[in-house]
Amino acid sequence: MNKDFNNISPLDNRYASKIANTRSNFSESALIKIRFEIEIDWLIFICVNKPSLFKTISKTSISKLLKFKSNFNDDYVLKIKEIESVTNHDVKAVEYFIRDFFNKDKVLKTYIHLIHFGLTSEDINSLSYAVMLKNGTDIYLDEIRTLNKNLSSKSNKWKSLSFLSRTHGQPASPSTLGKEMSVFSKRLATQIDILSKIKPLAKFSGATGNYHTLAILDSKINWESFTNKFIKQFKISQNTHTTQIEPHDWIAETSHSIIRINNILIDLSQDMWIYISNEIFKLKLLKNEVGSSTMPHKVNPIDFENAEGNLGLSNALFEFFASKLTKSRHQRDLSDSTVLRNVGLGFGYSNLSIKSLLSGLSKIEPNKEFIKTELDNNWEVLAEPLQTIMRFEGIPDAYEQLKSLSRGSKLDLITYQSFINNLKISDKSKNILLNLKPKDYIGLSIELAKSSK
């Protein structure tokens, strides 16, 4: 855990240990490392694939470069940041750091002119951020799939546990807890599939996206294909039509996809909070946990509350990323640069929320006694099946009769059965209604819960 409590973001102190993978992936150090690796790999790539145009490179020199790359550590970062403090340019600082290393080797020294050859800094940044976001999305997908697996498990576990539903906050046709969990699980599965299919894009085409510095060397070479081959090494797709920057539409897609997932999770958080408030679920007691500084009896649904708050922060960030990053003046302006540096925060708050939800879900258990009592005290919810059977039997004013009997009133078993016994309907229909209890009027809830797996 990061012990520096002077950091401005709680993601870097209070919650640091909960999102260690996300923090590591989106850190300044990680960004520098990716830039550094791309610069080394590009030099090797052009020398190996176009030795007659650039310069041949020996296996020994390649081995030195790969070792240099694999030895990346905090000392590299500090030295690069020192250079940047002079250059005031982050990508150029990486280039100069590599040049300093080459200058110490008589063979590599002859390759200095090929460091960062034919590139603009945005080529390095575009591919770097694509790799970073791809890896960050993979981390996020692992987290959200874990949560969805948990929901699916609860859907199956509680598939037959009927409870009193509420529409407009009022008693409504019963459902099962498992079926209600399956709604969230199905929604998440759809959005997870959409997010997993978004292709990260990068450009590698120079200052205004026209491959000027490469085409001037040899116009007969298909430089689009050449750079695409390099980009594919990083499992990133190429965007061939760009300005100086990749337009970030795919980042907007990713942002919007995560916003939709976040909204599903906000819905889940709020529903679970209300279920707990309404005593459908009870919270497991943790002996040493404190619910209030002054009210000893409190056991609070804080995990769901924390999740809701952090999901809101994540949404605010991703909404801004999607809106801002897709706009750039003419061939480019620099406003996207400072925004991209914050993209990890959106993932951080969302992943933190997933952890909170998993924690919250581990602390709840159905309050079966309360659920049973509530169902037994709300026979009026059977006005719907009563009306349905009456209409099926040809009674034209079924709805109006049930409205007079039940609207705004509490029904009990005796009133319910008395009404049925006075109906002029078939014995078969009467038996169906007389044997029906609120807990049994759950439609296809069990089958729906099973189908979410």
Residues with a known catalytic role: 168, 292
C-alpha span between 221 and 242 (Å, rounded): 20
Kindly state the greatest CA–CA separation across the chain: 104
Amino acid symbol at 166: R
